[in-house]
Amino acid sequence: MPSITTFLAFGLVAFGMVLTPGPNMIYVLSRSITQGPAAGLISVAGVMLGFVVYVLCAAFGITALVFAVPYAYDALRFAGAAYLLWLAWQALKPGGQSPLQVKKLRVDGPKKLFMMGFLTNLLNPKIAMLYLSLLPQFIDPAAGSTLKQALALGGEQIAISVVMNSIFALSAGSIALFLATRPSWALVQRWLMGTVLAGLAIRMMTEVRR
């Protein structure tokens, strides 16, 4: 199992990720503003199921590669670092934009709310790539089962995401007002997350193979 230090470090990264505007946050906020907090929470449940699917795929995939292919861990590490650098550039490049655009949506029933939350997460390739980029960085094959470590860290990320997205759903109106009256927040968010992603990428590329 991952150490306490690893749990804390990964938890901090997961917390930073969930605060970064993206399809999940946009959908939950938009749905909550359109239909109220209850609809937002149902959407969060669908988003959570999407995370479960990705965690299982990433955990079993990483485990299979680490054991079947020599230096697969390093291959994932460098590929993940390259992807994180690309994300950092998208945020920091001149003219870069925050993806946060809350939209008015039509009223839907609980079943469709759940499925739309699920599909919004499942059909976002960024989520899959981020799992492949981040999980290998916090997994140490010498510390025990790679699969158990990946599942434990994935479970932690899901818990953080569900809690934070639920807060977004319950306070969507206040969040929308905050963003509307503070346009400079988008610029701060871009530079903050771009810097964090670039730092993670550099760390991944320079660390000694475990």
pLDDT digits (tens, 9 = 90+) for 73-90: 666 667 767 766 776 777
Q: How far is the C-alpha of 15 from the C-alpha of 84, rounded, in Å?
A: 16
Q: What is the mean pLDDT of each run of 10 residues along the chain (210 residues)?
A: 83 80 76 86 93 84 62 67 73 60 69 90 70 76 82 91 90 69 67 72 64
Domains identified in the chain, total number: 1
Contact yes or no for 11/164 (Cβ under 8 A) = no
**Is the pTM above the cut of 0.75?**
no
pLDDT digits (tens, 9 = 90+) for 154-175: 899 899 999 999 998 888 767 6
Contact yes or no for 42/118 (Cβ under 8 A) = no
- 3-state SS of the chain is CCCHHHHHHHHHHHHHHHCCCCHHHHHHHHHHHHHCHHHHHHHHHHHHHHHHHHHHHHHHHHHHHHHHCCCHHHHHHHHHHHHHHHHHHHHHCCCCCCCCCCCCCCCCCHHHHHHHHHHHHHCCHHHHHHHHHHHHHHCCHHHCCHHHHHHHHHHHHHHHHHHHHHHHHHCHHHHHHHHHHCCHHHHHHHHHHHHHHHHHHHHHHHCCCC
Residue range(s) defining the domain that contains residue 202: 4-206
Contact yes or no for 26/33 (Cβ under 8 A) = no
Q: What is the CA radius of gyration of the chain?
A: 18
- Looking at residue 99, what is its pLDDT? 45
Alpha carbon distances (Å) from 39 to 89, 141, 194: 35, 41, 32
